[in-house]
Amino acid sequence: MSLLDREILALMREVADKVILPRFRNLAHGEIEDKGGNDPVTVADREAEALLREGLARLNDNIGFVGEEAAHADSSILDRLAGPCWIVDPLDGTRNFAGGKPPFGIMIAMADGGEAQSGWIYDCLSGRFCAAHKGEGAFVDGERITARETSETPPLAAISLLFMDDSQRERMKDGIAPHYQLVDIPYCAAEQYPRLALGVNDVSIFERTLAWDHAAGVLWLNEAGGKAARFDGSAYRVDEVGRTGLIGAASPRRWDELAARLAALPA
């Protein structure tokens, strides 16, 4: 594990232990709000982001900071995604956390030129730590890993319909679902990306692709030998703010199969 990985892990542990876990199943009335569109936020999200911002500034204060809650309050912060920046989801899986159930985690990426260069994913309850650096492979708790498919036939698919419109949902149900075993989605990218690499799920479809939800996971899955890319095969970029649609898969061949089926769907 590199020095930077150890420093990021220490920061994530500190934030989880000080801010997030003490409030798990212990949120007071008024400490959960809805940002709109079925998108909850808690006091833990905001306090965790503040601590992460302070900690990352100590590591490198010469690059921008793009946090989910800060960007919600001021959308101009998204302009920083085009340059060198930290990208932070202080509490991924807030819906689960607010409901008193797992999974939930912390996601951090370091990006430049619109592409993630490093990414880290921390499971607050288990302590699992995923790390990746561009061109250097993917790691879990310091051990290099290689993505693997499940042995299931048909393959296992986690397809999030939450942010799709009615017509998209119907096309998915009619044209995609019959080719897969549909499994529960965790409502947590910090859990879904590890599932794709660690032999739990074969493919996943994401409609909403905000940078804090996907920058770290896309890099980590690709570095593990899986594949995450836009529906048309183009690379995921953190600075494509308004773009939607992303496929994650345990292997390039599983990605190709699903992409072909999506391309064949009626408009």
Domains of the chain in sequence order: 3-145 (3.30.540.10), 156-263 (3.40.190.80)
**What's the mean pLDDT when you consider all of the chain?**
94
pLDDT tens digits for 9-58? 999 999 999 999 999 999 998 898 888 767 889 999 999 999 999 999 99
- Whole-model pTM: value is 0.95
Q: Which residues are part of a known binding site?
A: 68, 89, 91-92, 213
Instruction: Compute the half-sphere exposure of residue 196: CA atoms within 13 Å on the CB side of its CA.
Output: 37
User: How would residue 98 be classed by pLDDT, with cut points 50, 70 and 90?
Assistant: very high
Q: Which residues are part of a known binding site for Mg(2+)?
A: 68, 89, 91-92, 213
pLDDT of residue 128 exceeding 90: yes
| pLDDT (average), residues 249-260 | 98
pLDDT tens digits for 132-182? 999 999 999 999 999 999 999 999 999 876 666 777 778 887 888 889 999
Identify the bridge partners of residue 123 per DSSP, sorted by sequence position: 105
pLDDT of residue 119 exceeding 90: yes
